[in-house]
Structure formats: C-alpha cells, structure tokens
Structure 1
C-alpha cells in the first residue's frame, strides 16, 4: 500500500501577488493545488512544515494528503509537491505548487536511486570508483503504486561492470520515461593512476655552499670585506701596507 504524508493547511480566499504577500506577512507560505481537471485550490502552509519536507531526500516523489482546515471530515487532497520557490537571500520557502492526483491517471515522477553493497563490492574493494550516472529515474506510474525508491545492489559488480535499468529488482509496474534503450544507472570505473615525471638529475643536484667561517678554496678570491687569516701577510698594496710601522728614532749624538 502506498504511504502518504499528511500536511495540514488553511484555505486562502484570494489569488494574486497582493494576496500572496499578505499571506507571507501572516507568517505562512502561499501554495496552490492544481490538476486532475479541477479548479485550483488556494491554500497556506506553515513554513516549518515545508522546510521539514525539503530537508528529506526524494521530496519530489513523496505523496501527500493535504487536509485543509474547514473542509469536510475525512476529506483530503492527494498530491505531489512539484515546485518550491525560495527567497533569493534567506532561502525560506515563499510559494509551493502541488499537483493533484487523479485515480487511475498515470503521472510522471522522479524516483530516487539508493545503492547498497558498497562494502562488499568486488570492484570497489579492488580500488574501483563508483560512477553514478543517475541519482533519480523519471517514470510514469499510477499514483497508488509509486515506489519509495529504487535499490541497486553493488556487491557483485567488478571493475568496468555497470548497472542498467533492467537490473533494478523493485521496479514493479512502473514505465521509465526513457523507453527506447536499457540505460545505465551506475558503473564501477577503474582507478586512475597518475605517474609523476622524473626529475632532472642536473636540476636536482645539490649546490655546495661553504660553511660559515670556512676558508675559501685554494686560489679563490676572499670574500669582500673579509679579514685576512691570522699571521697571513697582507696583500701587496693592500690596506696593511698603508699603515706602516713608524721609523726608529735617530740615535742621539
């Protein structure tokens, strides 16, 4: 049996932008229910109710029973949440569109794909990578038989294996929108190995730097401003030559 999520709503008397703004000022979210060859119904929702549904996965394929305040006891409208408009700054819901479900009339809906067996998958354990082609599959189905999700078992998949629509076990009587081929749902791709280029030996060779205070190599010029070694003769014409020792005093007669 198909499960429906119940939503409480209140009726709105007027349509239009002005009426919608007034609904928002009252702290509610304006919404509309259309379809099934009936007149559109104007309702208002608690924003917390809308956000509660949006944070759940697969809200586009979830079935709702909308109970409007003041309606006859037991009366409820079955619908799908088709579109939610959010505020561009705050991301709060500002309008919701529902599609009314008609008994026996097939509808197009996107059903979520859920993957199992990843821990035991042969290909994934060998280093393969799961490549998901479709997170949801659009199908045409009777409203009373909409599957909650499609399950895909990955446990038997090796590298380069794939899962197609025909491999889904719980598809039931649904008809995929893509009906001209057995399309791919997911594949197990081979791991990608990136080889690093060999470094240039010449560029990688270390450059010798003399230690601090070490004597320069034989024949090398001393560093600018460096003091001569202790006991070494000063260079000809160097600074030491200019500072000659004073001459001996002349002997007294």
Structure 2
C-alpha cells in the first residue's frame, strides 16, 4: 500500500469513526403505515424511516460475499427529528448518503431494551419540495462483510495552485459523484480529485481517480472525464 493511500485511509478512518461514535441513530419500530400515521409521527417530532438489506452484489448464491440478510432484517421505524437534523448540520448532504452510522432499534421511546443494532448507510432523504422539511428516510444495512453500491460525492482540491486556472481558465466540473461497489468498511465519504497540476485543456478521467483498491467503479467506460480545465470564453468579436 502506498504512502499516499496509508495517509488517506488513516484520515478517513479517524473522521468516520468520530462520526459513528457521535452519531448513533436511535429508532423505534412502527407497525402501522400510511399517510395519516406518518403525519402523526411527524407532528410528534419523529421521522418515518425504513432499513432493509440491499442485495449483496458480491454474493454468488453459495453463501459467500458477506452475510445474507433475512426478511426480519427489514424494519419500519421512526427516528427522532432533532437527532437527524443535528447530524445533517455536521454532515451535510450529499456526504450524509456516503457515511455509515450505527443504528440502535429500541423497544419504544425512552426504552433501554435493544431489539436490533448494526451499521446502516442512508440511501435516500425525502424532503418537502417547498418547505425542505424532512419527510422520511431510507437506510440499508451496512454491516462488515457486506458490499454496497454507493454514489460517492466528488470534491476538487488544488484550485488555488492550478496552473490552468491561474492563466484564466475555468474548471468544468463534469461529474459531481462517482458510483462504486464498496465493501462496507471502505465506503469513502467523499472522493478528492487533485487538479493542482492541470493546465488548460487537461482532464481527469474516471480511471485516474485514486480510491481504495477494494472499490470497483460501476461505469462501462472509465475514460469518461470527471473534470476539465477549459479556456475562458472569448469575446464574440474575437
């Protein structure tokens, strides 16, 4: 493993572990569904949620490739709105949906009886289009040994020293995220693309992006560019 990757993994692991320890999502079961029930839950300061087992992309039908979840691992839940809002203040979208969290399912509000626990990955956050109010959440179980499909946000670094930008060029951000098949223990919260050495006309392709060796890019063409430094548009008279 290269020095670059050891340093990156250490930093990512420290950040992820801190997020996990601080943000253990608390939830309670809900047995009744429907719009009226959901409205009542939200009025009581709770957010309807569901957590299920995503089919394991690495499973080959013989029990390999991580644990196979039973139907009992699918749960209809409600979570505390204040807690989810607090998490979203420190881990903003879209990074929230590329971060795993511990989940504890209690027997009821304020109960110490633990029914189920494990790591989960948020995959959908539904909001009211007008007010932005949280409506419901969808999670997938992300216990160690499972492999998940994750849409990982792309961030760009090195803009302050990029030769092409210093010459007056512009950064064309072609892809905002990249989709990978990831072991749950190596899901990156974000992918950093270094543009510090790019000149005008240079590109960074999907295959050039550095990620953990266990990640598999879910694209048929890894020559699709992630970004490009383009020349500033000339005046129409020129």
Task: Quickly name the TM-score band, shorter chain normalised.
Answer: 0.7 to 0.9
Once residues 227 and 193 of structure 2 are traced to their aligned partners in structure 1, the CA distance between those partners, rounded to angstroms, is 9
> What number of residue pairs does the alignment pair up?
197
Deviation at 1:61, TM superposition (A): 0.9
- 1:60 aligned to which of 94, 97, 100: 97
Larger proportion of helix: 2
**1:154 match:** 195
Task: Give unpaired runs (5+ residues) of structure 2.
Answer: 1-12, 54-68
**1:140 match:** 181
Q: 1:21 to 1:32 in 2, by over 3 A?
A: same
Deviations 1:110-164 (A, max 9, x none): 1111211111111110111100111110111111111122111111100000011
- 1:120 aligned to which of 161, 164, 187: 161
Once residues 45 and 222 of structure 2 are traced to their aligned partners in structure 1, the CA distance between those partners, rounded to angstroms, is 48
Q: SS of 1:85's equivalent?
A: strand
Task: Give unpaired runs (5+ residues) of structure 1.
Answer: 198-253
**1:9 match:** 27
Once residues 50 and 193 of structure 2 are traced to their aligned partners in structure 1, the CA distance between those partners, rounded to angstroms, is 35
Q: 1:153 to 1:89 in 2, by over 3 A?
A: closer
Deviation at 1:173, TM superposition (A): 1.7
**1:46 match:** 80
Deviation at 1:38, TM superposition (A): 2.8
Q: 1:52 to 1:179 in 2, by over 3 A?
A: farther
Q: 1:148 to 1:10 in 2, by over 3 A?
A: same
**2:49 match:** 31
Deviation at 1:85, TM superposition (A): 2.0
Tell me, yes or no, if the aligned pair for 1:150 and 1:171 is still in contact at 8 Å. Answer: no
Is the radius of gyration larger for structure 1 or structure 2? 1
Q: SS of 2:75's equivalent?
A: strand
Higher RCO (Cα < 8 Å, 6 or more apart)? 2
Residue pairs, 1:65-76, within 5 angstroms: 65-70=102-107, 76=117
Tell me, yes or no, if the aligned pair for 2:128 and 2:135 is still in contact at 8 Å. Answer: yes
Provide TM-score, normalisation by structure 1.
0.69
Q: 1:9 to 1:16 in 2, by over 3 A?
A: same
Residue pairs, 1:69-218, within 5 angstroms: 69-70=106-107, 76-196=117-237
In angstroms, what is the RMSD of aligned CA positions? 2.4
